[in-house]
Amino acid sequence: MRYQPLSAATYREHRARFRQAMEKGGLAIFHSNDIMPTSADGSMPFKQASDIFYLSGIDQEETVLLLFPDAVDAKDREILFVRETSELLAIWEGAKFSQKEATELSGIATVLWTTSYEATIKRLVPQCEHLYLNSNEHLRQGNEVETREARKNKETCAQFPLHSVKRSAPIMHRIRSRKTKEEVEQIQRAIAITGKAFERICGFVKPGVKEYEIEAEISHEFIRNGSRGHAYTPIIASGYNACVLHYITNDQVCNDGDVILMDFGCEYGGYASDLTRCVPVNGRFTKRQRDVYNAVLRVKNEATQLLRPGTLLADYHKQVGKIMEGELIGLGLIDKNDVAKQDPEKPLYKKYFMHGTSHFLGLDVHDVGLWNEMIHPDMVFTVEPGIYIREEKLGIRLENNILTTRDNPIDLFADIPVEADAVEEMMNRVGKKVMA
């Protein structure tokens, strides 16, 4: 295992949080992801389903978790099923978890082979009142491929059609959004590696480099520090490309005088980081570039202070929009008289800042959470305002990851340079070191 996992005590705490939200007589079932095929005999790298990983720490295909707090036999209250290892499997793919190893990592005493799942579920379902089935209820999900969990849910409902079915997703969204101490530490490990990658590319960027060469430097730093790689497809967007919000082609030349918008983040131990920085290709911002940069920075700093317990995210985004409105007026991009007459449902600032400011962060870069509830302590959010001026071929976005507390928000990226002068200084200092 290339990363340091969370402790079994933390996984036990995660399961306890879920059990506390279950109704009496409930039996919850969680399945792992499939290994997805490409073509011929190829397959994609395995990515574990976030919910079963959160509850068990088991990063392996064909895993199933049962939580049945009211089971008659104490051994049936938590059951983990893992793929059976063998000498042949170890030769071809590498050994899978032994039952002892799975217990040590997850803290679950009863570990069976996945081949025992069908017999076990037939034995236990008659004892329960409700089946808790999990599903992807993320606001942005749009799966065209049926997941293993969706497939198994259909089979379960067909097999036990008279049982009450309840949704696990709302519980998972609530408990996963409140991070435990070890989860925050894992995110900080991802952030530290991301910071190293940013420093590396500050010494690499110069006129004439390709966007994909910058991406390669980032990937190198991630993997050499124990990460499996990017938490999401990176955006390395120079010049006009920075005005394309989800630009991921990363195949253009970085020209003298342009600014590069780089949105990337390391995944470590399943947890994501999410950073955006903008750097001048030649190492120096022009006055206009700096003015726009500083306007975005002021919005980011003010927005960070608004992320406090008791705030509704919808209200937060409206407040940030008002802050951005003032900055755009100051830059001469919108007129205050037009703003006074604007349609409140179509604010003028949206021409230059068309996306949201923050999202939940955790096991997924766009992590789950309940958007219609108040912010609580121990949540982690991004703060990422941007100004995109297509006619000037200039896009500036700045993004840090913020931990909410009962007091002031904590900027988890505080050690990574973000002030314009600090970025220029790092490019100059690291660049000289690389040349030496």
Among residues 424, 431, 432, the alpha carbon closest in space to that of 293 is found at 424
Q: Which pLDDT score is estimated for 434? A: 60
Query: What are the structural domains, with CATH classification, of the chain?
Result: 8-177 (3.40.350.10), 181-435 (3.90.230.10)
Tokens matching residue 250: 């990363």
Distance (Å, rounded) from C-alpha 223 to C-alpha 230?
A: 9
Q: Which pLDDT score is estimated for 432? A: 65
**Cα dihedral across residues 280, 282, 284, 290: positive or negative:** negative
Q: Which pLDDT score is estimated for 387? A: 98
Task: Please tell me the pTM assigned to this model.
Answer: 0.95
Q: What is the pLDDT along the chain (436 residues), one digit of tens a residue?
A: 789 999 999 999 999 999 999 999 999 999 999 999 899 989 999 999 999 999 999 999 999 999 999 999 999 999 999 999 888 888 888 889 999 999 999 999 999 999 999 999 999 999 999 999 999 888 887 778 899 999 999 999 999 999 999 999 999 999 999 999 999 999 999 999 999 999 999 999 999 999 999 999 999 999 999 999 999 999 999 999 999 999 999 999 999 999 999 999 999 999 999 999 999 999 999 999 999 999 999 999 999 999 999 999 999 999 999 999 999 999 999 999 999 999 999 999 999 999 999 999 999 999 999 999 999 999 999 999 999 999 999 999 999 999 999 999 999 999 999 999 999 999 999 876 665 5
Tokens matching residue 19: 């059990």
Tokens matching residue 425: 């200084």
CA distances from 37 to 45, 72, 82, 152, 353 (A): 9, 41, 21, 18, 38
> Which parts of 248-392 fold into alpha helices (H)?
287-306, 313-330, 336-340
Question: Where are the extended beta strands (E) located within 295-431?
Answer: 380-383, 386-389, 394-397, 400-403, 410-411
- Specify whether the CB–CB gap between 194 and 218 falls below 8 A: no
